């Protein structure tokens, strides 16, 4: 999820600042952790 996705979602949902921060955090986590099935979390 890139910055434009975060902006689009935030604007569409009229997120308050704490909600936007949470969405940005989720986006960063999704960039770091692969979103695949059967991924071994202990691998990292």
pLDDT at 39: 67
- What domain count does the chain have? 1
pLDDT, tens digit, 9 for 90 and up, residues 1-43: 778 999 999 999 999 999 999 999 999 998 888 777 776 767 6
> Is 44 part of any domain?
no
More confident residue, 16 or 44: 16
Sign of CA dihedral 35, 6, 26, 28: positive
Evaluate whether residue 15 is within a structural domain: yes
Q: Which domain holds residue 14?
A: 3-39
What is the reported pLDDT for 43? 60
Task: Determine the pLDDT at residue 2.
Answer: 77
């Amino acid at each position: 999820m890139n910055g434009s996705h975060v902006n689009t979602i935030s604007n569409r949902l009229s997120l308050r600042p704490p909600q936007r921060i949470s969405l940005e955090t989720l986006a960063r986590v999704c960039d770091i952790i692969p979103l695949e099935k059967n991924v071994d979390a202990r691998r990292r």
